[in-house]
Amino acid sequence: MTARFDSPKAIITGRGCRTQAADLLVSLHAQRTFIVADSFFASSVFLNEMHTNLAVKGIAGDLFTEFQPDPTDQNVLAGAERFSRFGADSILAVGGGSALDVAKMIGVAVANPGPVHQFQGYDRISRPGPPVVAVPTTAGTGSEATKVAVITDTSRNVKMMILDSKLMPTAAVVDYELTFSMPKPLTAHVGVDALTHGIEAYVSRKANSLTDPVALSCITKIHANLRSAWSDPSDEQAREAMSLAALQGGLAFTNSSVCLVHGMSRPLGLVFRLPHGLSNSVLLPTVTRFSWPGAKARYAEISRAIHLASDKVSDAMACEALAGWLDQLNNDLQIPRLRECCDGDVARFRASLEKMAADALESGSPQNNPVVPAASQIVELFELAW
């Protein structure tokens, strides 16, 4: 089997490294940078400081914050219009996965006019956009190092997965200091999102020898640090480890794939307006129990890598130990059950099941799963997670 590993041209990590974003933009010959930033940071010291650093280097900046969490095609087009009006030549993206994804797609939309849904799926982007320097502020999606953007098509109410190597940011600047302000629920949701990336990258049918060590390193860091980052938001060592794990999760899944959890999580999140990490979290234990019989040895390796099982027990017992730990983790992080996330609206849940299953399959992610489900099995899994 051949393998290919894509990544940003430069990855910079460490406390305070955000100050190097301006130098990176200089090296990319930027003169006018479109700053796409999460509104949480719009008037923050961090962003002011980055703006000043650009000015010191002679780079003009225009700030764009008009997009929502789980961004839409309309957000992308509005951003592309502002980018062109400003005459920008580069993008600095600061925020969670939503900011990074909308920024990547603004660049694509500028270079490839037309509706955003034309890019849905694999390798549908003709021309690359301007260089993007991505600065994540959550420790979750890994979008700073992925060839992926997730954008909602408002006309069809579908969360589109757009996958193309032209979406890989030019540089990733991973400064964990930006994550200290995350409240506990956000830390939990994005942390389990990163864990899901690591696990799915490792058990995927597209897993390979280049992604395996990166995925396992992501998983072991999260096992050792997510609880600490959640219980003590100022735990510097845990925050740093979580930011690195999220980066590794992104690198791993973008060069392998995500699988059934993500396939089911996108439509679920859209119907019930759940944050992406939360919709992953409520599905992960159930989908793991369904999937491990298809890749027993792989799931057992994960379980042993984080010392949930010894070499002496069977693979099946190791897999069950892993699923049990995922339940326990959700419990410890106070992640509610699916029915609680949906306010117990069982009628709406039942009415949505078939479309959610069809949308999951259409995304292509379940086809990478160790056990490839039929639509009826996806419906059953949603019901089991309820």
Binding positions for ligand NAD, rule: CB under 6 A: 38, 40, 69-70, 95-99, 101, 137-138, 140-143, 146, 148-150, 178-179, 181-182, 186, 190, 193, 250, 276-277
CA-nearest of 234, 221, 103 to 172 is 103
Q: Which is nearer to ligand NAD, 70 or 315 (CB)?
A: 70
Structure tokens at 362: 């259409």
Three-state secondary-structure class, residue 137: coil
CA 98 to chain CA centroid, nearest Å: 9
| Least distance (Å) between residue 97 CB and ligand NAD | 2
Q: Give the nearer residue to ligand NAD in terms of CB position, either 89 or 200.
A: 200
Minimum CB distance to ligand NAD smaller for 34 or for 308: 34
Q: Note the helical H segments in the chain.
A: 21-27, 45-56, 73-86, 97-111, 184-203, 212-231, 236-255, 260-272, 276-291, 296-305, 315-332, 338-341, 346-362, 375-385
- How near is the Cβ of 321 to ligand NAD at its closest, in Å? 27
Please report how close the Cβ of residue 196 comes to ligand NAD at its closest, in angstroms: 9
The strands making up 171-174's β-sheet, listed across from edge to edge, are: 10-13, 171-174, 132-136, 90-95, 32-37, 60-64
* DSSP string of 337-383, one letter each residue: PHHHHTTT-HHHHHHHHHHHHHHHHHTSGGGGSSSPPPHHHHHHHHH
Minimum CB–partner distance for residue 309 and ligand NAD (Å): 29
CB nearer to ligand NAD: pick between 40 and 86 = 40
Closest separation in Å from C-beta 347 to ligand NAD = 26
Q: Nearer to ligand NAD by C-beta: 107 or 140?
A: 140
Nearer residue to ligand NAD within complex by CB, 142 or 267 = 142
The b/e string for 113-125 (b: 16+ C-beta within 10 A; e otherwise) is eeebbebbeeeeb
Report the SS3 class of residue 148. Answer: strand
Residue whose entry in the numeric block shows the structure tokens 């439509």: 267
Task: Classify 305 as helix, strand or coil.
Answer: helix
Rounded to 5 degrees, what are φ and ψ at 236? -60, -45
Nearer to ligand NAD, 27 or 165 (CB): 165
Q: How far is the CB of 76 from ligand NAD (least distance, A)?
A: 12
Nearer to ligand NAD, 54 or 94 (CB): 94
| Smallest distance, ligand NAD to C-beta of residue 316, A | 30
Closest Cα to residue 323, out of 306, 340, 342? 306
Q: How far is the CB of 121 from ligand NAD (least distance, A)?
A: 15
Q: State in angstroms the smallest separation of the CB of 144 from ligand NAD.
A: 9
Dihedral sign for Cα 168, 173, 177, 181, please. Answer: negative
The 3-state DSSP class for residue 11 equals: strand
**Quick one: 140 or 285, whose CB is closer to ligand NAD?**
140
